[in-house]
Structure 1
Amino acid sequence: MHPSPLLERADAVAGAPQDVDATVPAHYGSPLPEQAALVAGLALSALARDVVAVTGPDRRSWLTTLSSQVLTHLAPGDGGVETLLMDAQGHITHALAALDDGQVLWLVTEAGAGPALADFLDSMRFMLRVEATDRPDVQVLGAMGQGLEALEEAARSVNLPDPHAGTALVGTWRDPWPGVVEGGTSYDLGRTRPHPGQDYRAGMVLVPRDAVTQVAEAFLGEEAPDGRRLAGALAWEALRVEAGRPRAAREVDARTIAHELDWLRTAVHLNKGCYPGQETIARTLNLGRPPRRLTILQLDGLGGRAPVPGAVVRLGERAVGTVTSVVRHHECGPMALALLRRGVPSDAALSVDLEELEAGGGPARVDATQEILVAPEGRAQASPAQRPGAELRRR
């Protein structure tokens, strides 16, 4: 987990040392305009991610047996896929962006998780022709909309010192969110209203760490359109939260299952072969309901105060959930993602605990309203209309 070279820029402002995005700039002096530039395709962000390289002729079929997605069809330039690694109980252990360049299967995970991911994959090799290696020499840059193509072009324009290494473009991953990929399904209410992330178009470009500064300079170069700039992690996170896009470092805890985050839409193939956690995926889809549901919270910003991740969400005085991400959006104001109990009514007025106390000594809170991501009914579009065994239960 090496800091981004962009932290060395004079205008880069670092975040808190304990933050999950501490290895990249939090902002460059103007967090809100940086969001607008990302939306317009005029900015790039350094992303706090680790990269693991998997080599060997069995790499795609092997990882397909370990993960929730089919990777056997991956080919250079196809944009890759998203997949999950889970334990036997279906709890998420890694969320991966996966792309293949014809020789290497590149896996992007959260910052600090690369060594553990490589060790786990190495322990699962058995006799197969694969090898997993943590690659701190490769870092991740992100862009949105037409900015992703501009970032790719900038990476291609940078030639590496080694004449056999080619350009600085290692590979590009295109985020499928919020689409429903082949074999996936959705828990949202998209059949009656647009998804909050319908305009979200994001992607990641992998480049050698030593070339990050050159790629950024090429993106911002004199021939680039006016208005191009760098955007920090605060800007990237605000747009992610607006789109309801889950992130492992923020939304996943020790008991999270994919259904709660609507991650079956982009990261799970329901018709593939066996893999760890598949029983939980199938059982919850067909027989049960996810115990929690991800929602966007629109926070009252009049008081100028905002909660922090981990804050308690309340219905009246009763604790009904936990905040996972908090941002300040350039148009919508303060927003958050939260995991709520499934039974919380979708129209319920909620409040969120703040760290400080009111003048009288009582707990300070901020009001919140919900923007639904996962339907409270707990049914996916692929769930059976009649749950198996319902007739026997009635008897």
Structure 2
Amino acid sequence: MQAHSPASPLLSLPGAVAAEAPDDGVAAHYGDLFREQRALADGTGFVDLSHRGVITVTGEERLSWLHLLLTQHVSELPPGRATEALILSPHGHIEHALYLVDDGETTWAHVEPGTQGELIAYLESMKFFYRVEVTDTTGDYAVVHLPAGSITESPEGVAVRETPHGRDLFLPRAELESFAAANGPAAGVLALEALRVEAHRPRFGLETDHRTIPHELGWLGSAVHLEKGCYRGQETVARVHNLGKPPRRLVFLHLDGSEVKLPGHGAPVRLAADGEEGRQLGFVTTSARHHELGPIALALVKRNVPVDAGLIVDATAAAQEVVVEP
């Protein structure tokens, strides 16, 4: 079991309610989930993601070396350009997801909470003769997320990942409280998760299990470069891409709003026509309450589930939207 980051000092802010795993250590919300969601959707506030792991890679050969290990094309990654990448098993199953940016001297990446130790151990085992240094900087740097459209200025000298979904700052951990005081209001991770589910964006450890391949989650577009080889699991990626038949596919679910309780991770998905005793065809990966859409979820289902079929999660009716084409 990997060590997690220390609990965030922002848990002392008024109204803060601590999140549960895998996001323990930061706030789930600060007393008003929907207000926090609307603020993020409007481009205001920030999200404390200081529980996420942070690693840095330095050395002149860092990008050419990472290029050999990652699913993404990074050998010529320009300074300041954000990208994301995966590390796969020899059989093509997802083992790590990295959210990267290079500042011209250092490659910065944040990863799921507590996974940085295992990731670094793998990277260290692959250094060979390359002149690179891999460092766990989680204790020194905290990830802070600014939503798309935010006018908050990024602090000078701080590495920034800017994407269509917002900016991730690699903020010195000692500056977290002063940043929060100057740039509030804070929004909890539940607000950000609801917007992530709405945007159909997968998250390692929630949308994945031990046998997930990138094709099932729609990660080919953003985290996998199909024109490069030379990485572990590439043969599986190419074969499934050419055949076009991943065993499962990610779907977006609109859940019946009359149910009070959201389905948990792993809740079974079945055909509505078969009822609660029908054969399980998939499982919920993330569920959320959205300020406009109501209860929503992502789920992983068998590829051959009809795209127009009504589904149920436990006893809750669910209408599906296609994320990954069958």
Distance (whole Å) between structure 2 residues aligned to residue 114 and residue 8 of structure 1? 26
Shift of 1:154: 5.0
Shift of 1:23: 1.6
Letter in 1 for 2:128: F
Identity of aligned residues (%): 47
Match of 1:26 in 2: 28
Write the deviation string for residues 1-40 of structure 1: whole angstroms up to 9, x where unpaired: 2222211223311023xx1111211000001110000010
Q: Does 1:260 align with 2:216?
A: yes
Write the deviation string for residues 294-313 of structure 1: whole angstroms up to 9, x where unpaired: 01111001132321111000
Match of 2:189 in 1: 233
Task: Give SS of 2:35's match.
Answer: helix
Task: Give SS of 1:318's match.
Answer: coil
Letter in 2 for 1:239: L
Q: Does 1:86 align with 2:88?
A: yes
Letter in 1 for 2:146: A
Distance (whole Å) between structure 1 residues aligned to residue 28 and residue 191 of structure 2? 8
Shift of 1:67: 0.6
Match of 2:58 in 1: 55
Task: Give SS of 1:118's match.
Answer: helix
Q: Does 1:271 align with 2:227?
A: yes
Write the deviation string for residues 187-219 of structure 1: whole angstroms up to 9, x where unpaired: xxxxxxxxxxxxxx2331110111111112221
Match of 2:294 in 1: 333
Q: Report the TM-score, using the length of structure 2 for normalisation.
A: 0.93
Match of 1:12 in 2: 16
Distance (whole Å) between structure 2 residues aligned to residue 300 and residue 313 of structure 1? 14
Distance (whole Å) between structure 2 residues aligned to residue 76 and residue 212 of structure 1? 25
Distance (whole Å) between structure 1 residues aligned to residue 149 and residue 98 of structure 2? 23
Contact 2:154 2:160 in 1 (8 A): no
Letter in 2 for 1:219: N
Match of 1:133 in 2: 135
Contact 1:306 1:366 in 2 (8 A): no
Distance (whole Å) between structure 2 residues aligned to residue 343 and residue 65 of structure 1? 34
Letter in 1 for 2:322: I
Letter in 2 for 1:374: V
Letter in 1 for 2:155: A
Pick one of 138, 142, 161 that aligns with 1:173: 161
Contact 1:154 1:215 in 2 (8 A): no
Contact 1:305 1:366 in 2 (8 A): no
Distance (whole Å) between structure 2 residues aligned to residue 319 and residue 100 of structure 1? 43
After TM superposition, the runs of 4+ consecutive aligned structure 1 residues lying more than 6 A away are: none
Contact 2:154 2:169 in 1 (8 A): no
Gaps of 5+ in 2: none
Match of 1:72 in 2: 75
Write the deviation string for residues 287-327 of structure 1: whole angstroms up to 9, x where unpaired: 24010000111100113232111100011212100100010
Q: Report which of the two structures shows the higher radius of gyration computed on alpha carbons.
A: 1
Q: Does 1:373 align with 2:323?
A: yes
Contact 1:98 1:106 in 2 (8 A): yes
Letter in 2 for 1:172: V
Write the deviation string for residues 324-364 of structure 1: whole angstroms up to 9, x where unpaired: 001000000001100000000011111112xxxxxxxxxxx
Task: Give SS of 2:206's match.
Answer: helix
Match of 1:155 in 2: 155
CA RMSD of aligned residues (A): 1.3
Task: Give SS of 1:203's match.
Answer: strand
Match of 1:324 in 2: 285
Distance (whole Å) between structure 1 residues aligned to residue 119 and residue 12 of structure 2? 28
Q: Does 1:214 align with 2:178?
A: yes
Write the deviation string for residues 107-129 of structure 1: whole angstroms up to 9, x where unpaired: 11101011111111111101110
Distance (whole Å) between structure 2 residues aligned to residue 93 and residue 63 of structure 1? 15
Task: Give SS of 1:6's match.
Answer: helix
Counterparts in 2 of 1:249 and 1:5: CA distance versus 1, 3 Å: farther
Task: Give SS of 2:281's match.
Answer: strand
Letter in 1 for 2:195: L
Match of 1:358 in 2: none
Contact 2:149 2:166 in 1 (8 A): no
Distance (whole Å) between structure 2 residues aligned to residue 340 and residue 96 of structure 1? 25
Distance (whole Å) between structure 2 residues aligned to residue 93 and residue 235 of structure 1? 26
Match of 1:96 in 2: 98
